[in-house]
Structure 1
């Protein structure tokens, strides 16, 4: 009686829709036997090249097995724990290249939905089969379930969604291939598009434009090598120093500048090097964790829960590093501007604005432009993986479509950004262009009435915060997370700090130890509160909390950084100052700009090269962060010596110093 019930269930349509593994294995034999018949049936609907390749598959079971084995299984372990974005076996698919038949890999080509209840019944039946030795009937005894039956089942129970990848012959489209070979009994929805399908030839193919760009980059590298070799030869022959143009591209000259340690320089604020370098590391850590969260994960539930943990703020509070960057940018600009322009008439300062902007543009653009051209030229040929081409092209598409936004620093008010991290460069350039509006009056009046200048800037900060809150409440569906006006308060706090530091330059500031300690305690308490309260905003967001917190916290954070800079510079920083002023951080600080430019490309390489599910944990992410950091340090050194340092020297040669209006 028990056996009769089992066979009755075995023939039931419901069982056919869930017993994937049995049908998949038996269905493969069925496809081989009836292959020619199926090709003849759809011959007029598929291309000639695809027909020829499918006929070859009919006559070679090993090839057919390789294509099937490279594709995603319908059932795999961890269905209820992973995010079910299966990548198949990319390398096996790419290895298929025999007798005019090449593998073409299509990631995330199909989707299906599996009811959990049917999986439970499948497990029960398979357990019964394991305990009772019953021969499995042939496939010819089965009837496929009707669509109506399947739709009713899918719509009335909890479901698991799967995204699968396919390996198909290079001459076929997914739609053509699945008309003949479609081993999945359960309804599978295909994209029927080859937009993201790749062969190994697609990785190495380059357009004429990409070839030209690659040649230009190689020419620059050749100039650097030749200039360095000539400089070394002159020194070894004791022939003196080369021309400044040779020095500009000499790794020997630029490398000495890079590793030079400055000590006891009254015009240099040592702690800023540590702040800049560690802010850069915080940015890399945040982007490393963010990139891993979008990958196929074994423990996707753990990754989602991780964001709600309070201790995760050591990563989730990474945006404060960007606020620190904005503060430092405004601080250093004001500090240098006050020194250069004090005593210069307003008309001459206004006339110097175009030259100042041009200096800034030539200072920033070469390194980030090199990243742009490397990305759109030969980056695709440097790696491979199931989602490699799709990942690179998804990043490069905004670069090629909106290149003018990239080179004119207008990306941050757009949803399509070429390398997301470069939004900061756009916002910073916009603030720099607008800065003379406050710097010129400040340079004229700060000696006469410093308090009035600072009070005016504080009032402007309050206005910017109020404007940001008003926009968030009044503009429906406001979706510009990288806007400039909401970060302007950071920049203005930095300008205030730069003016104050210039005013106190060369002076001795005496602060009572009790007062210094009290301010330090308040500063650190406020910074810790901002970091911890940000967790509540992330976990329990509301419109009011979000609209008020983000605009207000930025100038508060920057004010805390200002105290750290002032107290450390004037000898009240204690152990914090000693740590931030470690000599080697000067090198890291000089590399930080190129690190910021290229770290996104390094993370992209890691993400695009994955082959299978990843495991998310703090240890795994920290390990990956250190790997990204080491690679970033190495490449940013090359980037600095090749693209950034040469332009700094050429910039001075071509345009002279910003202080020229004094002359």
Structure 2
């Protein structure tokens, strides 16, 4: 194969050298009527500068290269070389994934065998060889073959031309290609395109910078008061002061009976699991040297440490329902039903103001200067593909209803939409529960359990009734997680002052059953992914979610009441409290961190477990740094301002 590539390259160079000067202008004249004036001018100059033309060709993808049988053949060319082309009259334009062609595999094998017969020959003999009909047919791949090798390539061309216009005159490909077959929406971009900002982007950037400036100013003023021993500043100053918010962020509580310590560990570890899953998913779509290894990796059981990441989202829904019910029971058990109903709007407003600032910051950062802070062959394409739904459907984003749409602004924010929707409907069950749980606790638990069964049944029914139902982000299929959490919050509140006694044998048996069930769910998920059937998919996904959450409920209950042993010690590690406080901002920003890493890729990547873990831990460290800034700038200030503006009336503490 290498010999074939080398010889074809020599022939191309010889053909260029021999006929370039005579035929170049004739080819330009032939396409004059179908080509723009700017492109014609640039093509004419390329006729006069072979070195410049070679730079364009050398920056573009090759059709024949090593590794055709192993890679996924989505070639990025040489982006940096393309962007480094410097000419006063011709600006460069990079076009990712612009063309595709197919090579019959057995034609390649015949070509290799034929070239081996001519292992030692001169360029003259090579030209004679090209006149041989058999070899010519093989090079043109006119004889078929059922097995095809698909090549997808990128191009570096003058900014005034389209790929079709450029290749009509200067075609570097010996095989026919089709343009824009992978993604018709893929756009070419010129050098410096990422740094150009529209009026809206400039205004959004200024808006994003205002909170940062307020944080700097308020922190400086707070520090000045502290050095002067002039007392504490106003609460508004504290809201944006890093000294105040940073102290709260690193503050660790020990032995507080009102806090469920193990929840911090569950929340933070679940967040790391989410980052792991999204890191793998993003790395999986990149071009790899060992594409077959990537395909086989999913079938390995040990790969479930990443592929079972969706269970982390179920844990988040469970914890959200648990904390809501636990706080609601503490505040509303002595309040009449009419007052509870009246408090619902204020309660929802508190929740909206709690979630929106950090999410809004993600929205405006993405639409403002994000494109300008990165570069790479896929950078602008990836940022635009994320930002387009944000521009078109911004109202879905801010009204938390985008999880029922196929176009989602930052895919991970579907969770925020589903969580907000569950929070809004939660009073339907929380108000009766707050009234009756003391007298009829069993009835409350049975009623909520019946609702869980109903939700699972509805989800299964939708999957069977609606053909090809593929919304993985709907709310109704996750409502069972939330309801299990509400049951857990009610039980924990009821038992908060009681001493729970349990025999060691019962405790051990419960732990064994819990861990075995969780392990089974993780491993069986692998079978569903590798060997999917309609019945497996339609039944397993709705049923496994509440079962997983029941297992998490046992872990929380046992750890909180002193039956967690080493598990409780691990989940209650003090530093997890800091990670837990950062988890919401981390959930918002981790996609940008992963996007930056993936969008900066220049060439084929090698895939194995070590490299994935290496990238994962790098993403985690960067996410912790960025989420700390995010928390101190957007999340923590709004928590204080929320209390200042609306107080605590009608809103359960979380």
After TM superposition, the score normalised by the length of structure 2 is 0.95
Spell out, residue by residue over 1:330-354, the C-alpha distance to the aligned partner (whole angstroms, 9 max, x if none). 0000000000101100000000000
**TM-superposed deviation, 1:195:** 5.0
Provide the C-alpha distance between the structure 1 equivalents of 2:318 and 2:565, rounded to a whole number of angstroms: 22
Provide the C-alpha distance between the structure 2 equivalents of 1:41 and 1:357, rounded to a whole number of angstroms: 68
Corresponding position of 1:32 = 20
**TM-superposed deviation, 1:147:** 12
Provide the C-alpha distance between the structure 2 equivalents of 1:194 and 1:48, rounded to a whole number of angstroms: 25
Provide the C-alpha distance between the structure 1 equivalents of 2:343 and 2:144, rounded to a whole number of angstroms: 69
Do structure 1's residue 129 and structure 2's residue 118 form an aligned pair?
Answer: yes
Contact 2:57 2:172 in 1 (8 A): no
Q: 1:344 to 1:108 in 2, by over 3 A?
A: same
Do structure 1's residue 452 and structure 2's residue 410 form an aligned pair?
Answer: no
Q: 1:512 to 1:141 in 2, by over 3 A?
A: closer
Do structure 1's residue 103 and structure 2's residue 105 form an aligned pair?
Answer: no
Do structure 1's residue 408 and structure 2's residue 392 form an aligned pair?
Answer: no
- Listed as ranges, the matches of 1:256-295 within 5 Å are 256-295=247-286
Q: Structure 1: any 5+ residue segments left out of the alignment?
A: 1-14
Matching residue within 173, 176, 184 for 2:162 = 173
Provide the C-alpha distance between the structure 1 equivalents of 2:340 and 2:496, rounded to a whole number of angstroms: 22
**TM-superposed deviation, 1:264:** 1.5
- Listed as ranges, the matches of 1:541-552 within 5 Å are 541-552=532-543
**TM-superposed deviation, 1:632:** 0.2
Matching residue within 189, 206, 228 for 1:215 = 206
Corresponding position of 2:544 = 553
**TM-superposed deviation, 1:661:** 11
> Pairwise CA RMSD of aligned residues?
2.4
Q: 1:102 to 1:426 in 2, by over 3 A?
A: same
**TM-superposed deviation, 1:155:** 4.5
Provide the C-alpha distance between the structure 2 equivalents of 1:628 and 1:661, rounded to a whole number of angstroms: 34
Do structure 1's residue 250 and structure 2's residue 238 form an aligned pair?
Answer: no
Q: Secondary structure of the equivalent of 2:620? A: helix
Contact 1:115 1:159 in 2 (8 A): yes
Corresponding position of 1:112 = 101
- Listed as ranges, the matches of 1:421-436 within 5 Å are 421-436=412-427
**TM-superposed deviation, 1:494:** 0.3
Matching residue within 295, 310, 317 for 2:308 = 317
Corresponding position of 1:394 = 385
Spell out, residue by residue over 1:287-309, the C-alpha distance to the aligned partner (whole angstroms, 9 max, x if none). 10111111101111111111111
Q: 1:509 to 1:417 in 2, by over 3 A?
A: same
Provide the C-alpha distance between the structure 2 equivalents of 1:576 and 1:194, rounded to a whole number of angstroms: 50
Provide the C-alpha distance between the structure 2 equivalents of 1:286 and 1:461, rounded to a whole number of angstroms: 27
Q: Structure 2: any 5+ residue segments left out of the alignment?
A: none
After TM superposition, the score normalised by the length of structure 1 is 0.94
**TM-superposed deviation, 1:153:** 3.4
Matching residue within 538, 557, 580 for 1:566 = 557
Provide the C-alpha distance between the structure 1 equivalents of 2:81 and 2:128, rounded to a whole number of angstroms: 29
Matching residue within 629, 652, 657 for 2:648 = 657
Provide the C-alpha distance between the structure 2 equivalents of 1:476 and 1:306, rounded to a whole number of angstroms: 30
Q: Secondary structure of the equivalent of 1:492? A: helix
Provide the C-alpha distance between the structure 1 equivalents of 2:394 and 2:163, rounded to a whole number of angstroms: 33
**TM-superposed deviation, 1:135:** 3.5
Q: Secondary structure of the equivalent of 1:183? A: coil
Corresponding position of 2:55 = 66
- Which 4+ stretches in 1 moved above 6 angstroms? 15-19, 143-152
Contact 1:284 1:629 in 2 (8 A): yes
- Listed as ranges, the matches of 1:612-631 within 5 Å are 612-631=603-622
Corresponding position of 1:644 = 635
Matching residue within 64, 67, 81 for 1:92 = 81
Provide the C-alpha distance between the structure 1 equivalents of 2:56 and 2:652, rounded to a whole number of angstroms: 71
**TM-superposed deviation, 1:104:** 0.7
Contact 2:107 2:144 in 1 (8 A): no
Q: 1:17 to 1:592 in 2, by over 3 A?
A: closer
Provide the C-alpha distance between the structure 2 equivalents of 1:30 and 1:530, rounded to a whole number of angstroms: 67
Contact 2:107 2:145 in 1 (8 A): no
Q: 1:35 to 1:106 in 2, by over 3 A?
A: same
**TM-superposed deviation, 1:363:** 0.1
Provide the C-alpha distance between the structure 1 equivalents of 2:134 and 2:4, rounded to a whole number of angstroms: 7
Spell out, residue by residue over 1:241-262, the C-alpha distance to the aligned partner (whole angstroms, 9 max, x if none). 1111111111111000100001
- Listed as ranges, the matches of 1:589-628 within 5 Å are 589-628=580-619
- Listed as ranges, the matches of 1:305-384 within 5 Å are 305-384=296-375
Q: 1:506 to 1:91 in 2, by over 3 A?
A: same
Provide the C-alpha distance between the structure 1 equivalents of 2:620 and 2:121, rounded to a whole number of angstroms: 57
**TM-superposed deviation, 1:148:** 11
Spell out, residue by residue over 1:632-661, the C-alpha distance to the aligned partner (whole angstroms, 9 max, x if none). 000000000000000000000000003489
Matching residue within 504, 507, 519 for 1:516 = 507
Contact 2:100 2:153 in 1 (8 A): yes
**TM-superposed deviation, 1:510:** 1.1
Q: Secondary structure of the equivalent of 1:616? A: coil
- Listed as ranges, the matches of 1:478-557 within 5 Å are 478-557=469-548
Do structure 1's residue 81 and structure 2's residue 54 form an aligned pair?
Answer: no
Moved more, 541-550 or 17-26: 17-26
Matching residue within 166, 171, 174 for 1:185 = 174
Provide the C-alpha distance between the structure 2 equivalents of 1:91 and 1:314, rounded to a whole number of angstroms: 36
Contact 1:375 1:396 in 2 (8 A): yes
Contact 2:223 2:243 in 1 (8 A): yes
Contact 1:17 1:186 in 2 (8 A): no
**TM-superposed deviation, 1:571:** 0.8
Q: Secondary structure of the equivalent of 1:97? A: coil
Corresponding position of 2:42 = 53
**TM-superposed deviation, 1:174:** 1.1
Moved more, 236-245 or 113-122: 113-122
**TM-superposed deviation, 1:41:** 2.0
Provide the C-alpha distance between the structure 2 equivalents of 1:139 and 1:99, rounded to a whole number of angstroms: 42
Q: Secondary structure of the equivalent of 1:168? A: strand
